[in-house]
Structures are given as structure tokens and as C-alpha cells.
């Protein structure tokens, strides 16, 4: 049996699923006619955007979700992120996971200045009169529920917008929002 692999630029407002009990949720199946058995590898929550892998191969899903694969995110945060906050996130911060305290693994964090050239979001973030924002790049090798959002909040700079830009060696690049591409395999290492 041959497997199918896809990369997509998940738009803001979609959930990383094909079925949902809740009405009026935008699902991945609205973006493309995927083969039966297609699953998202990892997730991006409804408010997050960017690179998402889909596959019909469960073993590939396990490999991508392993701790050896880097996932890079661009996060627009509330306020002008400080060097102290960046160092704190790099070393690991305590976040809550399922009611338990969890210390994130050390990771790569860097301020993005100037701000990255990213597509406008379908829904405005907020008015500039609410104060400045800044951007950081965060590269992790784990993937706890809403981890990057929880990390920036723990460092004192809540995330306003989150875009996954890389998984392994696969880059989002200038892929248009909502585009789906079938690929032979994923560039992981």
C-alpha cells in the first residue's frame, strides 16, 4: 500500500482535524479532497497558522512527532520582548500541562528584528493603540499542548499570533495561506 503525504499552510481559524462535534468549525477537509485515512501530524490550534504535515502513514506520524525533529515558530508577542525573557525561554520555563507542572526542554529563541514578512491574517490581531508588539523565533523539539503560547506567557510576553514556519528541514517559505501540496516524503533531517 502506498502512502500519501501532504504539506499545507494551515490558515487561522481552522482546526487540525477532519471531523468535529462542534458546529461551525472550519476543518482541514475544506481545503482539499484528501484520501481516506489522512491524519494531521501534530496539531496547530485554531488560532495558530502555518506549516502542517498530513499523512496516511502512522509510522511517519510517529517519526515526525519524535523529540529529535525541530519545529520552528514565529510568535508575535505583546510588548517588546526582553533579553531576560529570551534567556528564560531558552533555558526552559515551567508551564501547566493537564493540571501538572512541566519544565520545557532547553530550546532556541531569538528576537526577530525587523519583524518577519508574513501574510496578513484574516482577522486583525489588535489595534496599535494597545501598545507595541515584537516577534520571536522559537525552535523546540517537543510539542506539548499549546506549548509555545504557554512559554511566552510564562516569560511575561503573551503570544498574539503564532505561525509554524519549519518542521525538520521543510520550510513554510512563501507557500500561500490555505495551499495544499502532495509530496513524496517529508524533509526531516
| Residue range 50-97, pLDDT digits in tens | 999 999 998 888 888 777 899 999 999 999 999 999 999 999 999 998
Active site residue 45: yes
Q: What angle do CA 75, 32, 60 make, to 5 degrees?
A: 70
Q: What is the mean pLDDT of residues 97-116?
A: 94
Which superfamily does 71-167 belong to? Alpha-L RNA-binding motif (3.30.70.1560)
112-164 tens-digit pLDDT? 999 999 988 877 777 667 889 999 999 999 888 899 999 999 999 999 999 99
Name the pTM for this structure.
0.94
Secondary structure, 3-state, the chain: CCCCEEEEEECCCEECCCCCCCCCCEEHHHCCCCCCCCEEECCCCCCEEEEEEEECCHHHHHHHHCCCCCEEEEEEEECCCCHHHHHHHHHCCEEEECCEEEECCCCEEEEECCCCCCCCCCCCCCCHHHCCEEEEEEEECCCCCCHHHHHHHHCCCCEEEEEEEEECCEECCCCCCCCEEEECCCCCC
* Domain ranges within the chain, ordered by starting residue: 5-66+169-183, 71-167
pLDDT > 70? residue 17: yes
Say what the pLDDT of residue 134 is. 96
Catalytic residue among 45, 47, 78, 174: 45
At residue 68, the pLDDT reads 80
pLDDT over 70 (residue 1): no
Third-level CATH fold of 5-66+169-183: Alpha-Beta Plaits (3.30.70)
Amino acid at each position: 500500500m502506498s502512502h500519501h503525504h501532504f504539506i499545507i499552510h494551515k490558515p487561522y481559524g481552522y482546526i487540525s482535524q477532519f471531523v468535529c462535534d462542534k458546529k461551525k468549525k472550519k476543518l482541514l477537509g475544506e481545503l482539499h479532497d484528501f484520501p481516506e485515512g489522512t491524519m494531521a501530524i501534530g496539531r496547530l490550534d485554531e488560532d495558530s497558522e502555518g506549516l502542517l504535515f498530513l499523512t496516511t502513514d502512522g509510522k511517519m506520524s510517529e517519526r515526525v512527532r519524535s523529540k529529535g525533529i525541530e519545529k520552528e515558530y514565529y510568535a508575535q508577542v505583546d510588548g517588546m520582548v526582553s533579553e531576560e525573557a529570551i534567556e528564560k525561554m531558552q533555558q526552559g520555563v515551567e508551564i501547566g500541562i493537564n493540571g501538572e507542572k512541566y519544565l520545557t526542554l532547553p530550546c532556541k529563541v531569538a528576537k526577530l528584528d525587523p519583524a518577519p514578512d508574513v501574510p496578513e491574517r484574516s482577522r486583525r490581531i489588535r489595534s496599535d493603540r494597545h501598545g507595541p508588539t515584537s516577534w520571536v523565533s522559537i525552535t523546540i523539539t517537543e510539542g506539548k499542548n499549546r506549548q509555545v503560547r504557554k512559554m511566552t506567557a510564562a516569560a511575561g510576553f503573551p503570544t498574539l499570533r503564532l505561525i509554524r514556519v519549519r518542521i525538520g528541514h521543510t520550510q513554510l517559505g512563501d507557500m500561500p495561506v490555505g495551499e495544499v501540496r502532495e509530496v513524496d516524503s517529508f524533509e526531516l533531517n
